[in-house]
Structure 1
Amino acid sequence: MENRKVYLNEHTNLLQLEEHMYPLVDVQTPNVFRNLFHYDEIPKIAFNDRIVPHDMPDEIWITDTTFRDGQQSRAPYTTEQIVTIYDYFHRLGGPKGKIRQCEYFLYSKKDRDAVYKCLERGYEFPEVTSWIRASKKDFELVKELGLKETGVLVSCSDYHIFYKLKMTRREAMEHYLSVIRDCLEIGVSPRCHLEDITRSDIYGFVIPFCLELMNLMEEYKIPIKIRACDTMGYGVNFPGAVIPRSIPGIIYGLKNHAGVPSELIEFHGHNDFYKAVNNSTTAWLYGASGVNCSLFGIGERTGNTPLEAMVFEYAQLRGTLDGMDTTAISDLADYYEKEIGYRVPSRTPFVGRNFNVTRAGIHADGLLKNEEIYNIFDTGKFLNRPPLVAVSNTSGLAGIAHWMNSYFKLAEDRQVDKNSILVQRVKDWVDEEYETGRVTVLTDEELTTVIERICAEEGINL
């Protein structure tokens, strides 16, 4: 103990002891944490009540994997679609580039064409990066395209090292380091995707490996990023949970024991246990600058962390959107539906058709008096999506009036209320529909047809 160096941590202003070295723990048999992950049982969340402190970086941001992980679960996008979506990301990220990067495959001509066209846009953000196989040939392709950074797969759990790669930990580490060195030799910055980190031996493999990566970074003077990939969605954000499932514990270890600076730590979550958003926010809180997301959460199996969710998490944590244009989120949802043929599930927060639609008559009456009562924020301002009330037999005059005002976006001096002859006649029609046995909510198309007919009969101009 007396030989360990004492130094001042400039971030916390506390004196700290220099950490012990963390050598690779090479093992003969894989550690697959059977106490937590018994395949014929539900995975367990265990606690040791070791708490690590919040350590949010001075700056945090979002990176995107819509064109990489997002394309692994759906039909490939066309080149034109990729470029259009990229343009939307540029607008959404705002002048401060809060959508910092987009990553692309490079395997097909279509992929490379998309990269060229996105680069031609000349945007500083999102930066165009790639994801490739760990081979010299692919590294040269990255260099040829003029990209500064690429993702490289470095699976880190014994599940992958022993069962998939058929290697020992030492063999895997030496292989990975040689691959990363190949990347550095041609001047490309590697982003190391630590696949399956939430089932890995954090202090027996991950920390020693990252220490070696930091040594390479010092040698080559080229940044090396660490992407902590919760590939199976096992991560949890509960204080005191044990590693490898603890996201606070993983981020703390990378930052404080492996010496990886916050701006080089990125979290990549999956939603298998409904925790992708919470885990991504937690990664920010405990020291990762970047969270990697996919638009609408589209990705492998249950999907990735939804990009639009983290935009609003950012605003809640920082108290500002920092210039992000959130109306681009609604435009992206419309683009996906109309041009790509993908409709977001209707109750999806922020983007689903019904995310701010209420069906209860008493709620509709509250919305008519003050929409703040039943709407999460000014969705009209931030998403061009004013709150709506679905019209049914429980909507009443207030619900119908509110639907009309919102759907037709009527100016304040032209809005209708309970006493409007138009509203009363629409309600009569609604009542008649349900009296004859209808049980479903009325569609927008049905309502607009009836409203147009009544307006023509009454001489009303909406």
Structure 2
Amino acid sequence: MLEFSKKTNLLERTEFTYPLQDVEKPNMFRNLFPYDEVPKVAFNHRMVPINMPDNIWITDTTFRDGQQSREPFTTEQIVTLFDYLHRLSGPNGIVRQSEFFLYSKKDRDAVCKCMERGYEFPHVTSWIRASKKDFQLVRDIGVQETGILVSCSDYHIFHKLKMTRRQAVDHYTAVIKECIETGVRPRCHLEDITRADFYGFVVPFVIALMKLMEETRMPIKIRACDTMGYGVSYPGATLPRSVPGIIYGLNHHAGVPSELLEWHGHNDFYRAVNNSATAWLYGCSGVNCSLFGIGERTGNTPLEAMVFEYAQFRGTLDGMDTTIITEMAEYFEKTFGETLPERTPFVGRNFNVTRAGIHADGLLKNEEIYNIFDTEKLLNRPVVVAVSDTSGVSGVAHWINAYFKRKDDRAVDKNHPVVQEVKAWVDREYAEGRVTFITDEEMLEAIDKAVEATGVALLP
């Protein structure tokens, strides 16, 4: 069938035939995934077009995939973090959904309390395995949408489920139909899609789901899950690892509208953020993330990273309040006793700290030289210069003002007695042969001693 595309202004083929290939033996793609070697990235030089959707958004899995990788959150902690996500999302609901487990009473209580908040965004959704027993949990609590695990690689179908491809399709379809019959919107999580037989299993299965959606008039979302982080964004890379190829295939060959398509990536090969941005670029409206990237093994796509990817693509934050990211990071560290890696972009303790002497000199003259953007405005994190033998008395004053967030009439200058005393201590350290930078802890201790020695307190 040919149809005229208003997006490309061309006649395009819109109907494809991809029968399910019910193989006797699993296809493990051993040419790409030799278990005793590093995985291979192969190319066939087939290019697909960029297809940025009209609308893109972020969905959250902090309370599902994120939580299963760590000590469980309490109900109160979940509600607090959900409130933060609501504030971050802004009036346009860029953080559109948040998914929850339903297996423990604590999680079910959290779902109820979050739903009682009455927020438009994020929507509360759930996640279950493809079993009728699990679906009863969704039915009982009254969630309007649930994720359903529909593993799609032969690694899972043959070795975990002990099924054939046809048996897996029949099993998944039965649960999805029951979901629809009770008025709950299904979201199908295509687990391990980057090791799956894309045109032999994934596309025919998803085409069947799209036909089911047409028959029932119930939206069926498709989440492409890069469970092991094998996805690559390189143009011309082969399936099943090609993120552009996966999104294009689901959108164009399987007929999934962009607004029903979502990407869920892991960071095993440091590609989570890049792959998520690529999914947006090639036709996927939703990217699934977790706060600070927490999740199985190396974690998920960090939600805060995609906030800034969104702004770079769209040229606007669309009402998102990014200072909330800093509040969430501070809450996370204080409440859970976990220190986020100090060089983590946007949230790490030292992400905007300059240590190199020549960089510090430039930064003190004009912070735009070595700061990625106005971090004080957008993240409530003023740029910091680490103290060393090249910092000078102005560098010490800058450190104190930045660390204690002192501005205007509360700021100290280079002539303040405490600043002078700390600078004298720094000089002594390096005169005695020190070669490393002064740590924050050492600076705080030196400031306390300087206050005691001079008898002059810093301004309150």
The TM-score with structure 2 as length reference comes to: 0.96
Residue 199 of structure 1 aligns with which residue?
195
Residue 40 of structure 2 aligns with which residue?
44
Identity %: 72
2:359 is aligned with 1:372:
no
**Distance between the aligned counterparts of 1:137 and 1:43, measured in 2?**
37
List gaps (5 residues or longer) in structure 1: none
**Distance between the aligned counterparts of 1:371 and 1:384, measured in 2?**
15
SS of residue matched to 2:222? strand
Q: Which of the numbers 222, 229, 248 marks the counterpart of 2:225?
A: 229
2:166 is aligned with 1:174:
no
SS of residue matched to 1:37? coil
Residue 8 of structure 2 aligns with which residue?
12
Residue 163 of structure 1 aligns with which residue?
159
8 Å CA contact 2:265–2:288 kept in 1: the answer is yes
Residue 297 of structure 2 aligns with which residue?
301
Q: Which of the numbers 23, 28, 31 marks the counterpart of 2:27?
A: 31
Residue 126 of structure 1 aligns with which residue?
122
> Once the two structures are superposed, what CA deviation does each residue of 1:209-231 show, in whole Å capped at 9, x if it has no partner?
00000111111111111000000
**Distance between the aligned counterparts of 1:193 and 1:461, measured in 2?**
56
Change in 2 beyond 3 A, CA 1:165/1:459: closer
Deviation at 1:12, TM superposition (A): 2.0
> Once the two structures are superposed, what CA deviation does each residue of 1:396-437 show, in whole Å capped at 9, x if it has no partner?
334223212322333345645556655343211111133345
Residue 78 of structure 1 aligns with which residue?
74
> Once the two structures are superposed, what CA deviation does each residue of 1:271-328 show, in whole Å capped at 9, x if it has no partner?
0000000000000000000000011011000100001000000000000000011111
SS of residue matched to 2:62? coil
Residue 292 of structure 1 aligns with which residue?
288
Residue 179 of structure 2 aligns with which residue?
183
Give me the CA root mean square deviation: 1.7
8 Å CA contact 1:365–1:398 kept in 2: the answer is no
Residue 134 of structure 2 aligns with which residue?
138
SS of residue matched to 2:126? strand
Q: Which amino acid aligns with 1:39?
A: Y
Shifted more, 329-338 versus 5-14: the winner is 5-14
Q: Which of the numbers 41, 44, 52 marks the counterpart of 1:56?
A: 52
> Once the two structures are superposed, what CA deviation does each residue of 1:60-109 show, in whole Å capped at 9, x if it has no partner?
00001111111111000000000000000000111111111111110110
SS of residue matched to 1:62? strand
Residue 147 of structure 2 aligns with which residue?
151
Q: Which of the numbers 205, 210, 227 marks the counterpart of 1:214?
A: 210
SS of residue matched to 1:67? helix
Q: Which of the numbers 251, 258, 268 marks the counterpart of 1:255?
A: 251
Residue 430 of structure 2 aligns with which residue?
434
8 Å CA contact 1:103–1:129 kept in 2: the answer is yes
2:310 is aligned with 1:314:
yes
Shifted more, 433-442 versus 204-213: the winner is 433-442
List gaps (5 residues or longer) in structure 2: none
Equivalent residue pairs, number = 458
8 Å CA contact 2:417–2:456 kept in 1: the answer is no
> Once the two structures are superposed, what CA deviation does each residue of 1:323-352 show, in whole Å capped at 9, x if it has no partner?
011111111110011111121010000000
Q: Which amino acid aligns with 1:254?
A: L
> Once the two structures are superposed, what CA deviation does each residue of 1:15-52 show, in whole Å capped at 9, x if it has no partner?
11233211111211111111111111111000111110
> Once the two structures are superposed, what CA deviation does each residue of 1:162-215 show, in whole Å capped at 9, x if it has no partner?
111111111111111111111111111111010000000111110000000011
Q: Which amino acid aligns with 2:137?
A: L
8 Å CA contact 1:7–1:15 kept in 2: the answer is yes
8 Å CA contact 1:153–1:194 kept in 2: the answer is yes
Deviation at 1:115, TM superposition (A): 0.5
Deviation at 1:448, TM superposition (A): 3.7
Q: Which amino acid aligns with 1:208?
A: P
**Distance between the aligned counterparts of 1:15 and 1:103, measured in 2?**
39
Shifted more, 417-426 versus 225-234: the winner is 417-426
Deviation at 1:140, TM superposition (A): 2.7
Change in 2 beyond 3 A, CA 1:364/1:421: farther
SS of residue matched to 1:151? strand
SS of residue matched to 1:68? helix
Q: Which amino acid aligns with 1:253?
A: G
Residue 393 of structure 1 aligns with which residue?
389
8 Å CA contact 1:364–1:402 kept in 2: the answer is no
Q: Which amino acid aligns with 1:18?
A: T
Residue 403 of structure 2 aligns with which residue?
407
8 Å CA contact 2:14–2:253 kept in 1: the answer is no
Residue 89 of structure 1 aligns with which residue?
85
Shifted more, 17-26 versus 367-376: the winner is 17-26
Q: Which of the numbers 351, 355, 363 marks the counterpart of 1:355?
A: 351
Deviation at 1:460, TM superposition (A): 6.6
Deviation at 1:458, TM superposition (A): 6.8
Residue 110 of structure 1 aligns with which residue?
106
Deviation at 1:237, TM superposition (A): 0.2
Residue 326 of structure 1 aligns with which residue?
322
**Distance between the aligned counterparts of 2:444 and 2:166, measured in 1?**
68
Q: Which amino acid aligns with 1:119?
A: M
8 Å CA contact 1:24–1:205 kept in 2: the answer is yes
SS of residue matched to 2:424? helix
Deviation at 1:14, TM superposition (A): 1.5
Q: Which amino acid aligns with 2:74?
A: T
